[in-house]
A and B are shown apart, each in its own frame.
Chain A
């Protein structure tokens, strides 16, 4: 523990140094990822010209040559890679010739829908996971714990697309409470408030389906973490001091039991940005996951590389956020240690 001995000026310097170091690492990691993405994407057999021919039912030499020239695929790989890295450094995500749009505009168009879906699902999963896991943990061995354990294991084992379809069958087909797919009702004039409500109704089923698996993970994790902490000496001390059960849970158990959750959640938050392909497909949700999936099948390299890059930046940023949250929850983790 050195932080106590550093004066406030030294502390600012330490933080600045940490940030600078972090930024250098960030740029290096992004460039390595970009290069790796490029190689990976081009290693897949076939190219966009062949895909277009394969889906058009007709092809000839001229078409392939035209498309390859247009996509810049007629140049040797090292030159293509150099051009790509040059664009990455200048923050230019490129242009999708296939869709005749800039990659940035394609991503920006899809990002809100994805963030809305994944952030909702993530929050839902995290909050309920922590609450349910804590409940199960403090009542370990009782029937409510057993029930929660069974339910969370069931959710964990359920394929997400199946769960989504079953929810649709129940809430859309049988009960007719919620829309089955899409993100907004099309072709109806709406006020902003009506539109928000409409999107909210469309959001419920996909968000709940997506949250289910993560919810199960957080519940399980929280339960074991709570159990772990409950047997520590400082909890006995707190009990001996005569603190109320509720205060012990919130101040002492929760705060300490949260750390593993934050680690896992931090890792998963990154995956949530691009990891909702299945749910987006089942619910026809116009998010980023489907953009990636389609781009992969179409070998739309600029879009693929663009999305990968944006996602890696988000993942790195979320890791930074996780580190920060660590420090808030657990003061023992210092700036220097975290950097």
Chain B
């Protein structure tokens, strides 16, 4: 007896239970049609990515809002709504040519005016990360509806790497101009120009996107619909995957302990690709203001004492790559030739002894508190592992639990000793790396600033120079130098280049074809 027969037995008409018809028709090349069922969790508060940049908002909003450029997995710019672009030799003028015929979901055309408005008016007002980048634009010119020219105040090399859909979503000027952006009633409808538009959002249940018929790319999007189901429980999400109710998972949808088991499912391919642009970098954050963590030798001792290889295996089931320094190997200007801290309890103990930090009668040299980041079960396990492994050299760790509000409050106000941190790099050290180490970014109350309180004038100078240098060879030189200094100083203990398991139904094509991966527009995704 199956569900249909059981329903009949129960006297319920089985019509509704026959499953979602895929309605696929085969066109030239790629298959047209079909419904992609996937997961979104936690539920985003709104879908306007210009106003809210929480990860689920960006995943969903990436289908609704597009930006000037897309990026290949090795972070080369590719056409987004801009079909071509030019940079002047002095690095001060950027000219973008838009594709013709782009329309918003309300039918109005998208022009250079909308691009200029979004990037110089709205985003600098509403989007913290975009503000730091686009406020460097001196002025935007729109000589014709398909051309937009940005004149920079000063050369800023990573500008061309900061035009993805999570940083620079283009919003309709005719809806937002002159309004209170955050209170605009149109926010509920989330009008963008992306391949999918919002049809229905049943809070707590699902978000239903349908194809934008006026999409400018020929034959795209291939899918008819994308349904994001809100499934808050990890076990239920794994079950949904096993039962084939969904065709795609992303980010933390599947817990690490389920990955090995679910990877054996015949209908899915598991990949960790598609996160290159974000390159989430994971580290053990040490409050450099708290003794003895102000001593470089203590931090180096921790780097030697942490058994990262076992941790990657035991806690993360072999998924992540061990980080070698502040820059991810996936990010531009990565330097691999830096000092390595091999796992050695002897070296760690020697460093601690040298500091005069001798073990007491109970074998403990020092007791420190570790604030467990509240981002899922795996962080609890990671905390327990860190306590175990540091305990072996006499560093006693006490674990503290909290929720996101509590963590953000304590961490950003420097009311912590150790915690875990995970920060996106956004393709360029000037966008996602320097903020953690430069002195000018030591800001109380602000998350993802230089919360450790590390300060080194030489590091400040190198990062500063590298951000404005326009020549890539010169930038590499400066970034290599700063990476070497930082690895010697270990302001934080870099642990992993975080990996996320993306399960993709084998019929699906092009899901992780860009470096922005699951945040991408999905205009080229198709069933077969």
Contacts and interface: CB of A to CB of B under 8 A. Distances in A.
A190 B405 CA distance: 42
B448 A58 contact: yes
Interface string A32-49: 000000000000111110
B447 A176 contact: no
A59 interface: yes
Interface in A153-172: 161, 165, 168-169, 172
Contacts of B236: 165, 168, 180-181, 282-284
B232 to A, nearest CB: 5
Contact of A190 (B15, B20, B55, B206): B15
A319 interface: no
B404 interface: yes
A201 B2 CA distance: 13
Given A55-B404, A56-B53, A187 B132 contact: no
Interface stretch (B42-50, B81-89, B341-349): B42-50
* Residue among A54, A98, A177 with the highest chain B CB neighbour number at 10 A: A54
Contact of B410 (A45, A113, A175, A176): A45
A309 B217 CA distance: 51
Interface residues of A, number: 73
Interface residues of B, number: 71
A61 B227 CA distance: 36
Interface in A231-246: none
Nearest to B129: A58
Nearest to B449: A59
Contacts of B240: 180-181
Given A61-B443, A187-B20, A45 B402 contact: yes
Given A172-B239, A179-B3, A294 B43 contact: yes
B229 interface: yes
Contacts of A180: 236, 239-240, 243, 245
B10 interface: yes
B317 to A, nearest CB: 21
Interface stretch (B93-101, B197-205, B454-462): B197-205
A54 B45 contact: no
Interface string B228-259: 01111101100110110100000000000000
Given A54-B447, A61-B443, A290-B204, A282 B235 contact: yes
B3 A61 contact: no
Nearest to A55: B54
A150 interface: no
B234 to A, nearest CB: 10
A200 B408 contact: no
A51 B206 contact: no
A261 interface: no
Interface string B263-305: 0000000000000000000000000000000000000000000
B154 interface: no
Contacts of B481: none
Contacts of B403: 46, 296-297
Interface stretch (A62-70, A212-220, A264-272, A328-336): A62-70
A52 interface: yes
B12 interface: yes
Interface in A173-207: 173, 175-188, 190, 193-195, 197-198, 200-201
Contact of A182 (B54, B55, B205, B242): B205
A110 interface: yes
Contacts of B55: 55, 57
B446 A59 contact: yes
B420 to A, nearest CB: 13
Nearest to A287: B204
B52 A187 contact: no
A57 B52 contact: no
B11 to A, nearest CB: 8
A106 interface: yes
Contact of A46 (B203, B406, B449): B406
A168 B245 CA distance: 14
Given A62-B131, A161-B233, A290-B232, 15 more contacts: A46-B406, A48-B405, A50-B409, A56-B54, A57-B424, A59-B446, A64-B446, A177-B2, A178-B6, A180-B245, A182-B205, A185-B20, A283-B233, A286-B202, A286-B205
The 6 A-B residue pairs whose C-beta atoms are closest, nearest first, are: A46-B405, A286-B204, A197-B12, A46-B409, A54-B408, A50-B408
5 contacts: A168-B236, A173-B243, A181-B231, A188-B16, A284-B229
Interface of A: 44-48, 50-64, 66, 70, 97-101, 106, 109-110, 113, 161, 165, 168-169, 172-173, 175-188, 190, 193-195, 197-198, 200-201, 281-287, 290-291, 294, 296-299
